[in-house]
A and B are shown apart, each in its own frame.
Chain A
Amino acid sequence: MHKRNRARRSFVLGAVGLLAATAYAHHSFAVFFDDEKGIVTVRGTVTEFSFRNPHGVIRVDVIENGKKVEWKAETNSPSILERRGWKRDSLKAGDEIILEGWRARDGSRYMRMRKVTKADGTPVGIPFETPVVQ
């Protein structure tokens, strides 16, 4: 599931702003997500939003090549999100959203959420500008 060899180098890049997420015992951002290939963006319909630790999760149905597929985005810790304006009901099933984040290194439809925007352009909370955090 993870490509450890690609990550066999230091990810201590805080000085240049590439901050990796940490959360012992579930996983390391540096190993799991690809912060070098930039941001992946999908537009879809929320099917589930869970607001829990160690991470929240947003599930969205996305149409790719005419086919419905599921993307999952893990979020920062709920307490961190709350401090950035999120609430447990910020997203509801059926919401149309644009979801941006750092994609899993294994190429699966799994990302670390950076920014969420409602279909009408309303941002949800304050976006994360770097792959930061919690």
Chain B
Amino acid sequence: MMGAVPSRRIAAAGALALLLAGCGGTAPQETAAKHPDFSGFWMLARAPVEDEVLKAKLSPDAVVLQDTGAPEYGPGDFGGLKLTAKAQEIANAWKIEDDMTVSNTCRIPSIVYAMQGPFPIEIFQGSDLMVLRLEYFDMARVIFFDDRFMKEEEAPHTKVGYSIAHWEGDELVVKTSKLKEATITNNGLFHSDQVRVIERFRLSPDGKQLLSTQEFEDPEMLENKGARFITWNKVEGDHVRAYDCDPSFAENYAN
């Protein structure tokens, strides 16, 4: 794993370089230099910071989940999220055994779950877009600052969705739609492809932490809004590594 760099990683790095290099054209937004630089490698903090600045911007009726990182909810506990009849029916039918099969072992979550998964991220920040790589399942988000590259209505549904960002002072606000159905809490609750997510990111005063909130709403599956605090610690000298999920791992469950 630590030997030769796989060719697809080289290709991915090249693609990122091209994307970011292309960011220097006519910039309708302010340049990145006027804003905080989130670039670098970030390891998920064991306990998220409930930053007061970001907290004040959550919807008053959003329930804050307490499952960021390694903690998680057991079956039937959704942290205060209110399920629609459709979501409840799906949750009732959910069995963990179904997740432990060769066909499902490497099924990718959407960013709703993956952003708080206990894995690091790496950010490459340009002026017109930023690329956010997740180590978890080798996911990569391209977050645009305008819709020149793609209109929302043209975007396909994927696990990373379609993200448009803007700056509010030192805060980066990212709005994401076009997400494929996927888990919210890893215990039977799923969001639909109608889910919408708003994320806010800001640096801690010392620049050593990336503070964020994630808020989502999905009227098809949820009667209220959900939110999470997610915090990462800056780590110098490390990079996101390949995940390269191997579904044959599921064979270990069979005795």
Chain A positions near chain B (C-beta within 8 angstroms): 1-2, 4, 7-15, 19-32, 51-55, 57, 72, 74, 77-80, 82-83, 87-88, 108, 110, 132-134
Contacts and interface: CB of A to CB of B under 8 A. Distances in A.
Nearest to A109: B255
A54 B186 CA distance: 15
Given A4-B96, A12-B66, A12-B67, A26 B249 contact: yes
Contact of A19 (B69, B76, B97, B183): B69
Interface stretch (B11-19, B108-116, B150-158, B165-173): B108-116
A12 B182 CA distance: 21
Interface in B236-255: 238, 241-246, 249-250, 252-253, 255
A54 to B, nearest CB: 6
A4 B76 CA distance: 10
A2 B98 CA distance: 11
Given A24-B109, A26-B104, A8 B74 contact: yes
B249 to A, nearest CB: 6
A55 B243 CA distance: 10
A1 to B, nearest CB: 6
A11 to B, nearest CB: 5
The 4 closest A-B pairs by CB, nearest first: A19-B70, A25-B107, A14-B71, A24-B109
Contacts of A108: 255
A22 B77 contact: no
Nearest to A108: B255
B74 A88 contact: no
Contact of A20 (B1, B70, B117, B241): B70
Nearest to A83: B238
Given A20-B70, A20-B72, 7 more contacts: A22-B72, A24-B108, A26-B100, A28-B186, A29-B72, A52-B244, A53-B243
Given A25-B105, A52-B246, A108-B255, A10 B73 contact: yes
